[in-house]
Amino acid sequence: MNLLNSLGMAYSDMGDDENAVNFFKKVLQHYPASVISYNNLGRQYIKMEEYDRAIEILERGLKVRDEPHLRYNLAKAKAEKTKK
């Protein structure tokens, strides 16, 4: 799980959005309770300005476990969406 998340983060840092999303999704396929991966995928969607997807994935993460970083990024995605 950590390796896939790390690869997703590396691709995100390099600006390879498609591979970043794919790796975060792979983690969630195998570890559907990985709140970190919900957060990482949500942050990636925010970075890609895909706010509806970010909101959806972060809300799914909050159903797994209520975490402050998920709430923060959810609020950020909603705020950015209203700017558009």
Residue-wise DSSP of 4-68: HHHHHHHHHHHT-HHHHHHHHHHHHHH-TT-HHHHHHHHHHHHHTT-HHHHHHHHHHHHHH---H
pTM of the model: 0.95
The owner of tokens 């969630």 is 28
Model pLDDT for residues 29-69, shown as the tens digit of each residue: 999 999 999 999 999 999 999 999 999 999 999 999 999 99
pLDDT value of position 84: 76
Tell me which amino acid residue 49 is.
E
